[in-house]
Amino acid sequence: MDRLFFPRCAKVGSESLMEFMEHLQDINNFKINVNGVDRQTRRSLNARGQEELAAYIYNMDEGSVYIQHTNWIDFNEFNLPKPIFINLVRDPVERMISWYYYIRNSYRNALFYRKNPLAPIQPTAWFKKSFNDCVRSGDKECQYIPLTVTDAVPNFKRQSIFFCGNEQDCLPFNSPLAVQMAKRRVETEFAVVGTWEETNITLAVLEHYIPRYFAHKEGDPFDPFSFAVYQESLMNRNRNNRKPHVDADVRAMVRRNFTHEYDFYYFCKQRLYMQYIALKRTELERLNLYP
């Protein structure tokens, strides 16, 4: 099925990839859709919600891209052909630090209270509290307890759930089972899972594994947009300039509760490297330069 589905993780730089694709949609003749069935972000979808979203994507025009903060969906379960899946990952602790300061962003909160004028306003101390203090004080907002299903404060700490899917087994945080399920889905369902920590590698793999959407110019196939050109051409709409220093011991404290999430993260990066090495080898063989 000539449709691309980007069930984007939170706080992995997905806004940048969206802007990159907006830059390419006229060049490669595709359309981006971010409206969908239900724009409310949910931790998981029930069976009906999954079926509605799968049908919505299936009924889009050929050459469409659908982007939403949601989890992987098994299209086979609804007797529908699969789209092309892509996603991004990020260092798990860096994601949490980014999320912590993102929700304290004054511009974001101004927009929220404009849309929700009756919502309770957070006290000044909440906005000023550092991630260091939040973790060291044992604040519920900064507790990342393995195998928990119910969260005291929503924080998108489950990166693997975007790949694991909507099953109950995907819900426990830092669950070895959920992570193994997520790994299997990455390996069998996702064409590319990149990371902006390896920008040029990610862009090269996207371009060569999914040229229908990501090929951007003629010339050397291993000369994708350099990071400098990419940064100049595109802006990250969710960039947070308020991100104070986080102490090493605090990072270590948090990291201890993300063992399996790190296992998943490193798995995705290794797969990305292997895809990159494979396409380089293919090109060298084409040029008769590989022994």
Q: What is the DSSP letter of 170?
A: G
Q: Give a three-class secondary structure readout of 54-74.
A: HHHHHCCCCCEEEECCCCCCC
Residue type, 73: I
Q: How far is CA 239 from CA 14, 243, 274, in A?
A: 11, 10, 30
Q: Is-contact 95 236, C-beta < 8 A?
A: no
Q: How far is CA 173 from CA 134, 145, 152, 251, in A?
A: 20, 7, 13, 18
Grouping H, G, I as helix, E, B as strand and the rest as coil, residue 82 is: coil
Q: Which of 23, 69, 245, 260 is flagged as catalytic?
A: 69
Q: How far is CA 128 from CA 23, 95, 175, 238, in A?
A: 37, 19, 32, 20
272-277 long-range Cβ contacts below 8 angstroms, 24+ apart? 272/192, 272/193, 272/194, 272/195, 272/198, 272/201, 272/202, 272/205, 273/198, 273/201, 275/192, 275/205, 275/209, 276/201, 276/204, 276/205
23 catalytic per annotation = no
Query: Which one, of 126, 75, 84, 85, lies nearest residue 104 by Cα?
Result: 126
Instruction: Tally Cβ neighbours within 10 Å of residue 192.
Output: 21
In angstroms, rounded to a whole number, what is the distance separating the alpha carbons of residues 37 and 7? 14
Residues marked as catalytic: 69
